[in-house]
Structure 1
Amino acid sequence: MRHALLQLLRCPRCRRGPLHPESPAPVVLFGPLRCPECRASHPVAEGVADLVVTPTSSGAVQRGLENRWVARSYERYVRPALQRALARRPLDGDSEYLLYRSLLGQPDGPVLDVGCGTGLVARRLAREPDFPPVAGMDVSPAMLEEGVAQAREAGATVDFLRADAPYLPFQDASLGAVLMADTLPFVEDLGRLLLEVARVLRPGGRWVASTYAPPGLARGLLHRRLGLHPRAEDALRAEVAAAGLVRFERVALSPVFVVKAEKGSARTPR
């Protein structure tokens, strides 16, 4: 992980102190990160910082994504299969990426891809000329291991970290954008997540995410049992406003929709 991004991290245990590596090297591959406030220590291995303090329970779909063999086949087989099951007619990869990219705009600071999986979108962002640094965050060690390998093979510089949403282990107003491509349905506590997004974004920073509309009663119950939490547009819009984010927009691709909201300044009307 690059030292420049390490300086933006915040201790996930005390949620106050910065995290310092033992070495001042520009890239930290191994060794602990230490918090001067609570003296907690967090490991770094193969450049991936592990900032999970207390693992939370996960649904069946998330547990499946933590399997090494699933991670290795994720981009080619698993992700397309999930998209077909949930969206029925998903966008092709290029159209999906261009939609996310247009909604992100020109971020004024590092971009965090929450639930990055193997870093499919993060790699493409990182390879764009003059794009800010990109960090990929996921809770699955298998996905992150595959993400590191894929990024190296593609020649893309992505800083990966292991952390469990809704908490985002970054300092206040440190990020230019937060992206959640296909991962919003995995978040149960949306209100807390959006408060975290509002906290870590710089003024004018954007949150871009995709989800799908809740299915009927019977299928909806099955989705919840699998650990998925789809939301209707009205409910999502209300949660966004409650977190203090502004300029809500959505692109509808029924049953999927992609949303964007911003962190306003004190003068920005809602």
Structure 2
Amino acid sequence: MEQRWVARSYERYMRPVLQRALTRQPLDGDSEFVLYRSLLGKPEGTVLDVGCGTGLLARRLAHEPDAPPVAALDVSRAMLEEGLAQVREAGVAVDFLRAEAPYLPFHDGVLGAVLMSDALPYVADLSRMMMEVHRVLRPGGRWVASTYASVGAPRALLHRGVGLHPRGEAELRREAAAAGFVRFERVSLPSLLVVKAEKGSAQTPR
């Protein structure tokens, strides 16, 4: 992912190929965005796109009328450089940051929402990831993420061998609750799981 030619071809070729390989029936781009956008609600603060790649969804969020500030985070310098070129061409404002999840370089309670489209399977330490997301969100802030459906034991071992971590609803629900999230919801599609949870206030029951 650090090669410039990879970054330049990512949105048109590599991202669709990866989605098709993992989910078999990926959503088209418009349907994918509408789903994530509906689950994000009306963020009261900056939206952070974790594992943003070249910032495709971040750009679409920033294009919206009255959009909140949008930030995008990825570990790949090449992806971020391509993302910066794309937002300049699109004439929108997205702040790009280079960092490696699960650690998020933000103060406590400052973000309105955290989006993790396709990024969750690449995170090994889910517990730490959930605690970090909960830490940086404002009360009422939402976490929205997607992952491909968990697979059988033999395939799961193979996937983990190449750095992928498929997870099911039960594990995601459990880790979200352990981190302090409330109002967990999920949308289950063929080979794809999309989840949403909120950071409650001190008075919000789990």
Query: With structure 1 as the length reference, what TM-score do the two structures score?
Result: 0.75
1:96-135 aligned within 5 A: 96-135=32-71
Question: SS of 2:166's equivalent?
Answer: coil
User: Which has the higher Rg, Structure 1 or Structure 2?
Assistant: 1
1:131-146 matched pairs, under 5 angstroms: 131-146=67-82
Greater relative CO (CA pairs within 8 A, separation 6+): 2
User: What corresponds to 1:201 in structure 2?
Assistant: 137
SS at match of 1:118: coil
User: In the alignment, does 2:74 pair up with 1:151?
Assistant: no
Distance (Å, rounded) in 1 between the aligned partners of 2:23 and 2:100: 25
TM-score, structure 2 normalization: 0.98
Residue 180 of structure 2, aligned match among 220, 244, 248: 244
Describe the SS at the equivalent of 2:196: strand
- Shift of the alpha carbon at 1:151? 0.7
Alignment partner for residue 154 of structure 2, among 218, 233, 241?
218
Q: Out of 159, 163, 188, which is 1:227 matched to?
A: 163
Q: Which runs of 5+ in 2 are unaligned?
A: none
Q: Secondary structure at the match of 1:249?
A: strand
Percent same amino acid at aligned positions?
A: 74
Q: Give me the CA root mean square deviation.
A: 0.8
Q: Which amino acid aligns with 1:266?
A: A
Amino acid at match of 1:253: L
Cα distance between partner residues in 2 of 1:66 and 1:241: 35
Aligned with 2:45: secondary structure? coil
**Alignment length (residue pairs):** 206
How many Å separate the matches in 2 of 1:164 and 1:175? 18
Cα distance in 1 for residues equivalent to 2:159 and 2:79 = 22
Q: Which runs of 5+ in 1 are unaligned?
A: 1-64
Structure 2 equivalent of residue 78 of structure 1: 14
CA shift, 1:252, in A, is 0.4
Partner deviation per Cα, 1:144-177 (whole Å, 9 max, x = no partner): 0110011111111100010111011100100000
Q: Point out the structure with the larger helix share.
A: 2
